[in-house]
Structure 1
Amino acid sequence: MVTKKNKRKRLFILLATTVSFCLLILYAFIIEPNRFVVTRHQLNQQFASNNNSFKIVQISDLHLKKFNNRAQHIAEQVNKLNPNVVVFTGDSIDKVEQLDGFDRFLSLLNKQTAKYAIMGNWEYWAGVDLKRLTKIYATYNCRLLSRWAEENRNV
């Protein structure tokens, strides 16, 4: 027999679960994709004390769906940091159709800055054309670090 107290308890659990799920969805689709975090790490005191610095910008999990204000903002922020190297550590795009938007994103980054990239699981799952991706990266002074790209460098 379900008592009034048990009904309230079940309703509370259902409500708490629903709210938690909604907050998780909100975080996953609105907050997390728009997070842009800059952290600074000093690796060697002696090197830094001579007013020398070496800046590395890591871009990970961009999941660029299309070129938009978010992509433009990220490119602007990267350029403001004036890095020596930019590294793309996977999941730059989710689908093959997004290569044009990613090409446009890369075009906004300082071409003189050395760039290196690896593919993430999303690029593999999407079946990205490695020849085209390698060519896009190369256009913007970026080297795709993959066995295929290395073997087909001069193709």
Structure 2
Amino acid sequence: MKLSSLCNRKNVLILCIIVILLYIISGFYNPLVLTRYDYTSSKVPEGFDGYRIVHISDFHCKEFGDGESDLIAMIRNAEPDLILFTGDSIDDEHSLDNYRDLITGIYDVAPIYYVNGNHEYDASAPLAEMKELNEKYQVHDLNDASVVVEHNGDSILLSGLDFRLTMRGLRNNIDYANTTMFNILLYHGTDKFDGIAPYNYDLVLSGHTHGGIVCLPFIGGIISNQKELFPKYDSGVYTSGLSTMISSRGLGDASIPRFHNPREVICITLHHSS
């Protein structure tokens, strides 16, 4: 009996070790996924019912297939009406080649708008070249700007904020949302959401935290790419007051490897409710 009990304990221990090892090994496999969200509001105009927005964040010139073929195919297959980049498309560790491949592969799919993240301002990041490429392919700069987007005879307001804002700068640069229109705001960092929410933007799109990089069951992301432990807004949907934020896990890498944290493209479908 004692020998049988000892063998059973040994088998359980071996099984636990195997499960833990498989969990660890699988954690470093983080495929490219398309995450879909549905956003429903009475403020969404009837003409925008079913309108699809692809949200891309923290690309960091990461390669997804030859000539970005995998990423381009995912975006095109989503059939978006609008494509939005929320910063860190480039950095100082990569050339512009992968970003160029991506833009030339999707510029004809839908109108594209972007705001800058922190890495666009890295000392040796190819920001000037990115701007030149964006202008060539009509990728529109939305840093500290707004534009009216029209579709099926209705309109929404699309706004963006440059990442280089302190909270004081935020208050000086942000306007209260137009209450008569549906408003979308692009801003790279999730950390300013508590400051942005009182301005009543309906939908805020952000990234920056890379989903918390290392993700654990029942906990979520445990560290941001800025080394912040247990970031408040790591990824997913958050609501504060009248504002909803969707935070992307992003596509690129940080100094710490991703763990159980798939790279994502987000597709948001707007729905009108009466």
TM-score, normalised via structure 2 length? 0.38
Distance 1:71 1:135 in 2: 20
Distance 2:50 2:127 in 1: 34
* RMSD over equivalenced CA pairs, Å: 3.3
Residue 82 (str. 1) matches residue 79 (str. 2): yes
Instruction: Tell me which of 24, 29, 32 is aligned to 1:31.
Output: 29
Give the unaligned 5+ runs of structure 1: 1-15, 148-155
Instruction: Tell me which of 116, 119, 133 is aligned to 1:136.
Output: 133
Larger helix percent: 1
Distance 1:127 1:26 in 2: 35
Distance 1:36 1:90 in 2: 19
Larger strand percent: 2
5 Å matches for 1:1-155? Answer: 23=24, 27=27, 30-32=28-30, 34-44=31-41, 52-66=49-63, 68-69=65-66, 71-95=68-92, 97-125=94-122, 127-146=124-143
Letter in 2 for 1:121: N
Distance 1:54 1:43 in 2: 11
User: Contact between 2:84 and 2:114, CA under 8 Å: does it hold in 1?
Assistant: yes
Distance 1:81 1:90 in 2: 21
User: Contact between 2:107 and 2:138, CA under 8 Å: does it hold in 1?
Assistant: no
Distance 1:62 1:122 in 2: 11
The alignment covers a number of residue pairs equal to 125
Give the unaligned 5+ runs of structure 2: 1-16, 145-274
User: Contact between 1:79 and 1:110, CA under 8 Å: does it hold in 2?
Assistant: no
User: Contact between 2:61 and 2:90, CA under 8 Å: does it hold in 1?
Assistant: yes
